[in-house]
Structure 1
Amino acid sequence: MASLAGRFRGFLPVVVDVETSGFDPERNALLEVAAVIIGGEVGQLKPVASHHFHVMPFTGAVLDPAALAFTGIDPFQPLRGAVSEEDALRGIFRAVRTAVKAAQCRRAILVGHNAAFDLSFIKAAEKRSGVKNNPFHLFSTFDTVSLAGLAYGETVLAKAALAAGLSWDHAQAHSALYDAQQTAELFCKIVNSFDLNRIHS
């Protein structure tokens, strides 16, 4: 069985999901971030570790009431246990760098459902906080919208998950951790269904 290090040209797939206070990464706040590390042998990829932070809005962030209503997040609820953008990114980046090294990969690649959105908020928070050593490829991503559209004819995460035979709990949806875990399961199922030896023969 081939190792993960060779499956994606030395890139380790890491599923990321963010919850935010709007659509503009420069003006709106990062409120939650979750990362799910993918591991296992080629053909048997699986989620192996999850990391999750609630995040305090940066000073001056625009908090769109419609976005907050959609996610159900109260940014200033004291029981959230929220940390600064800097602490959240340091925690995520440290865990991902450790996983990249353990898998003998050279860098991580962000996997997401509408991955460009998640990457844009990570990069904006990175710039604001001054955190260094971002382990992710700066612009390349794997997007499960496209993968699920190809595999199942569905682009909405909930519908794609159900089409893939996965469970879906609407009560937990729009939590960064839940959405990242479901996206990871979806990504692994799609990738595992492709036999590279057959495709390349």
Structure 2
Amino acid sequence: MNKKKHLYYRFKGFYPIVIDIETSGLDSNINAILEIALITFKIDKNGWLKKDQIIHFHIKPFLNSKINYESLIHNKININSSLRGAISEYNAFNKIIKLITKKMKKNLCNRSIIVAHNVVFDHNFIMSSIERLGITINPFHPFTTFDTSTISSFIIGQNILFKACKKIGLYFNMKYSHSALYDSLLTASLFCKLINKFKFKKKK
């Protein structure tokens, strides 16, 4: 089988990508994404789903966004620190969409599917950002998602991220939780393990 078509076949033309975000609050219309991490996937020569590329940005709050300081305590983000190396929401999303579009074309996929733990939260923020920025070519499916919380609950009986990781044999360090980068890496590893339990081959 053509390797480029393998990921396409496994997810019926959809390109899964793990996304984790840290925000300035819970309302996707008025609160800002402050950190975002994305993990892409590939299928190895033996048909196993593997993590591929990491994309990670710290983001400046958009103009007139609301900052909930309880959220900043929770995610330990100092929005005024120059050490964050934060870029604008516009620049971050332009880079993200260019990379995802390139990955989708390489794998012959026609739409990207957001994978996240409790995915509704992440999906709402991503869609709100894209709409606010006036981005006309949106690679993400408008409503279909893969929720690792739901999948984990069904397959291994755990829906909390660190408990699901522990149950499936992944080490989760609570010290680094609520970092978009760390949580996305663990979510991607969890997703791979869950999907690889049901590896299948294309019928000839």
Report the TM-score when normalising by structure 2. Answer: 0.92
Identity of aligned residues (%): 40
Which of 180, 188, 195 is the equivalent residue of 1:184? 188
Q: Are 2:34 and 1:12 aligned?
A: no
Counterpart secondary structure, 1:171: helix
* Residues 24, 71 of structure 2: 8 Å contact kept: yes
Does the 8 Å CA contact 2:118/2:147 hold for their aligned counterparts? yes
State the alpha-carbon separation in 2 of the partners of residues 59 and 67 from structure 1: 18
Computed over aligned residues only, the root mean square deviation of the Cα atoms, in angstroms, reads: 1.6
Quote the Cα distance in structure 2 between the aligned partners of 1:93 and 1:57: 19
**Aligned positions of 1:16-165 closer than 5 A:** 16-41=19-44, 43-165=47-169
Q: CA deviation at 1:99?
A: 0.8
Q: 1:170 aligns with which of 165, 168, 174?
A: 174
Moved over 2 A (4+): none
Which whole-Å CA distance do the structure 2 matches of 1:172 and 1:180 have between them? 11
- CA apart distance, 1:169: 1.4
Structure 2: 5+ residue stretches without partners: none
Q: Which runs of 5+ in 1 are unaligned?
A: none
SS in 2 for 1:49: strand
Output the TM-score relative to the length of structure 1.
0.93
* Distance in 2 separating the partners of 1:95 and 1:178: 20
Moved more, 1-10 or 48-57: 1-10
Q: Quote the offset at 1:196 in angstroms.
A: 4.1
List per-residue Cα deviations over 1:34-69 (Å, max 9, x = no partner): 110011148400110010110000111111111110
Amino acid at match of 1:143: D
For residues 179 and 149 of structure 1, the distance between their equivalents in structure 2, rounded to whole angstroms, comes to 18
In the alignment, the residues of structure 2 paired with residue 52 and residue 180 of structure 1 have an alpha-carbon distance, to the nearest angstrom, of 10
Q: Aligned with 2:175: secondary structure?
A: coil
In structure 2, C-alpha distance between the alignment counterparts of 1:22 and 1:31, rounded to whole Å: 10
Aligned amino acid, residue 18 of structure 2: V
